[in-house]
Structure 1
């Protein structure tokens, strides 16, 4: 585990931004998003499937759906060329969801593996070696709670990826029905036991699941005292730093969250989305732009493992009411880079302040 977090060591980290996290209107096309991010100083993108589908429809002149893999691969080749012209890396294809846990022989399981094979084709076309898989949020009544089944499915997916020297980054979604926390996905990744399977960690997913709650007046988990909440959360971050090897963290995503006012109902919405899922989709700004999560603390915990791989901004900023914002994408990308730099400076400076002025036992 890294003993220090000198700013100089953090400045070697490569900067990424999710393509789905910038742009607020149809005219903000994928090429314009890439141009804005490149101009701002980002070195890579997470390629989001909805953006690839929209780009494919635009350049091919007809609607392209999620199973139109020939068309999607043709578009992916063009995205690869575009990114190469800007000296940008396509870090990952995302978000691959609701994959694991379906009953053997079910239509859902057949569809999951059909999608996996199609997404592998797209990965090869666009030149990325990494697939982001979110822990399934399908109801437990449909996928069960048998972790062995989830492990087996991910082992099979890892085998398909390994045939093409591709990797899998498994992320805990804090509203997942079976693996909402980092401990859950780390346990699963350990049981999968494949060298090409690691973690995608996320400041929102960790703090939003273990510290905050969009259904309470305070915006915090309220079934324990504030002191106990802080103690438990800090212990979780300490355990993360001490437990996960740096080489099993494939990348780190960064975002904050708005406090929801009025709070959400604790029940799923009309679409069946759980409160934290709804919160994730529309209420996630850049750090230092109106959120309240302990983003720096989570990032510091991950970086204390010694991880110095890709750091990616994945935000979904619909404003404090979640209804959407109108902004210029170049200005947004520039603010994104400023937020990134400020956060890394805070990670280092606060850490060194703690070392210079330790709290008396």
Structure 2
């Protein structure tokens, strides 16, 4: 599938945008007129630069407010159009986007629309230019793709076809199925955009909140499937208006955009696999999807491993050994493994730096990640050590694929013998339940796509949590059975550049047990410091739940938090924050499957207060 992206999607100058698109691997770009207008490069220089980069110049856009006007206005519009056609000749471009009129149209008449566009087409033919007519969702008279297709048929010119834009169709709740009935050769261009499902006017939604495929709520694999059924064989491009993208690193955004198209191709190919349909787009599939069964390990980077070692021992972890060659420790409780890494950790008090998931075929997982443009990271190893290679997520977390065989191999480097059993007394840590990762505000959508596409996780509906630091946006990603769960929390904008590190958003590893009360008592006796929960919380708890006095006293004594739903009960506590991370210990009873979301504001406020009064 030939891929393209509109320059309006990206930050920077036109030259920087073109470089980023070529580096990411796009086949071509759409030139947004404003990017050209403000560029110091002449059209001829842009054309030559694109040729050197191996980029095609696919679409010049937009040409607005043309049809449905009085004759005097039409003549002015034709003069304006001819100047653009001459400009396109200098650029070496042959396709222009004509948007349905939103501002100057005064006559609602399809025959007139067609007649006026026919005159534009005849003028364009003199310059070898084709016209892709697009129905804007807020067009004054033409606002659906079905209507624009009727007009294109009335125009009846070889150089006039449709531009199909997913946002303008799906934002209206329109059914894209009829796209499959349009002859593919009359679809001149395709633009894709996803978007979160919001309740707001479509224009504002479009101009500020579009995202790349896989980062919103639209079923773009179904949409692209209809395009395949039409016989379309042209370019598939991205047109994303997003305030964050236009402030973010241009190279990373370009990679994110291409990753979204690679992911979407694979999703669509799988959707069409059972149909006998000719795929003129030549959709590319990805290496086999890996179903994760659980976490292999979580890694904590720290310059002072004793800080973390003490907390792990208090929680009942066993020290299994230090790596025979590196300043790296391995701790384990049940199936939960924590790696404490002191390499390259100067000035890092403590931070969640990596994770590994168990999959049936780690090699296939790595191949899939590579195909999705994930940036590789590798750990230095000697020839007699297990190679551990992974990928760097957009939030800088290092992600690895593991298996029972690989785990046994690298555990041996810590002196662990095969089959080493772990204590299983009541109230022991059983496994890593989930990992909570903080996201820079500009990388949140990119991270959601990375973890869902590379790790094959499903994104659950997001939530927003109030905190003293601002409104925290949270998104849970997980496998269907809950064996792997990630919670991504976006750092409020500007927080990562505030006055000092004590206001950074902390991350954590959540550990599961079958008896949180017993574990909390043992940890408390071992000297563990818990996050202090305010008394007001427990008063509110009594008002919301039917909790007896004895149970309430236990909750208060151990700083435990409580939640319940129609399935069961959730009990959990938090350790004190060390550096930029902490541990959560939780117990799920009788099928409770949530995360204690009502308690998140309590935790955030308590951590804020603790950090505010305990500055080092």
Asked if the contact 2:9–2:246 (Cα under 8 Å) also holds between the matched residues in 1, the reply is no
> Is residue 8 of structure 2 the alignment partner of residue 20 of structure 1?
yes
Deviation at 1:248, TM superposition (A): 0.5
1:150 alignment counterpart: 113
Q: Deviations over 1:220-257 (max 9, x none)?
A: xxxxxxxxxxxxx3xxx33221x211111111111111
Q: Find the aligned partners of 1:77 and 1:162 in 2 and give their Cα distance.
A: 21
1:248 alignment counterpart: 186
Q: Describe the SS at the equivalent of 2:195.
A: coil
Q: Find the aligned partners of 1:287 and 1:14 in 2 and give their Cα distance.
A: 16
> Is residue 243 of structure 2 the alignment partner of residue 318 of structure 1?
yes
Asked if the contact 1:204–1:295 (Cα under 8 Å) also holds between the matched residues in 2, the reply is no
2:152 alignment counterpart: 189
The equivalences for 1:163-174 within 5 A come to: 163-174=126-137
Corresponding residue to 1:44 among 19, 25, 28: 28
Q: Deviations over 1:10-57 (max 9, x none)?
A: xxx21111011111xxxx1100000000010001111110000110xx
1:77 alignment counterpart: 44
Asked if the contact 2:225–2:271 (Cα under 8 Å) also holds between the matched residues in 1, the reply is no
Deviation at 1:353, TM superposition (A): 5.7
Asked if the contact 1:46–1:93 (Cα under 8 Å) also holds between the matched residues in 2, the reply is yes
2:258 alignment counterpart: 337
Deviation at 1:109, TM superposition (A): 2.6
Q: Deviations over 1:69-119 (max 9, x none)?
A: xxxxxx2111101101111111111011111111112xx334312210110
Deviation at 1:209, TM superposition (A): 2.1
Q: Find the aligned partners of 1:21 and 1:284 in 2 and give their Cα distance.
A: 10
Q: Which has the larger radius of gyration?
A: 2
Deviation at 1:126, TM superposition (A): 0.2
Q: Deviations over 1:181-231 (max 9, x none)?
A: 1111100000000001111101111111234xxxxxxxxxxxxxxxxxxxx
Between 1 and 2, higher relative CO (CA 8 Å, sep ≥ 6) is seen in 1
Deviation at 1:325, TM superposition (A): 5.9
Higher strand share: 2
Q: Find the aligned partners of 1:43 and 1:87 in 2 and give their Cα distance.
A: 7
1:178 alignment counterpart: 141
Deviation at 1:354, TM superposition (A): 7.6
Q: Find the aligned partners of 2:203 and 2:67 in 1 and give their Cα distance.
A: 18
1:95 alignment counterpart: 62
Structure 2 gap ranges (5+):
277-616
2:536 alignment counterpart: none
C-alpha distance 354-120 of structure 1, shift in aligned 2 (>3 A): closer
Structure 1 segments (4+ residues) deviating >6 Å: none
How does the TM-score come out when normalised to structure 2?
A: 0.43
Corresponding residue to 1:238 among 177, 187, 190: 177
Corresponding residue to 2:91 among 114, 122, 126: 126
C-alpha distance 328-109 of structure 1, shift in aligned 2 (>3 A): same
2:15 alignment counterpart: 31
Q: Find the aligned partners of 1:352 and 1:342 in 2 and give their Cα distance.
A: 15
1:285 alignment counterpart: 211
Q: Find the aligned partners of 2:157 and 2:122 in 1 and give their Cα distance.
A: 9
Q: Find the aligned partners of 1:342 and 1:314 in 2 and give their Cα distance.
A: 17
C-alpha distance 181-45 of structure 1, shift in aligned 2 (>3 A): same
2:165 alignment counterpart: 202
How does the TM-score come out when normalised to structure 1?
A: 0.73
Q: Describe the SS at the equivalent of 2:31.
A: strand
Q: Find the aligned partners of 1:295 and 1:145 in 2 and give their Cα distance.
A: 32
Residue-pair matches, total: 276
Q: Describe the SS at the equivalent of 2:171.
A: helix
C-alpha distance 122-36 of structure 1, shift in aligned 2 (>3 A): same
Asked if the contact 1:92–1:131 (Cα under 8 Å) also holds between the matched residues in 2, the reply is yes
Q: Find the aligned partners of 2:184 and 2:13 in 1 and give their Cα distance.
A: 35
Higher helix share: 1
1:227 alignment counterpart: none
2:364 alignment counterpart: none
Q: Describe the SS at the equivalent of 1:185.
A: helix
Query: RMSD of the TM alignment (CA)?
Result: 1.7
> Is residue 230 of structure 2 the alignment partner of residue 305 of structure 1?
yes
Asked if the contact 2:208–2:243 (Cα under 8 Å) also holds between the matched residues in 1, the reply is yes
Asked if the contact 1:180–1:209 (Cα under 8 Å) also holds between the matched residues in 2, the reply is no
1:109 alignment counterpart: 74
Q: Describe the SS at the equivalent of 2:273.
A: helix
Structure 1 gap ranges (5+):
1-12, 60-74, 212-232, 265-274, 356-361
Deviation at 1:150, TM superposition (A): 0.8
Q: Find the aligned partners of 2:221 and 2:205 in 1 and give their Cα distance.
A: 20
Deviation at 1:163, TM superposition (A): 1.0
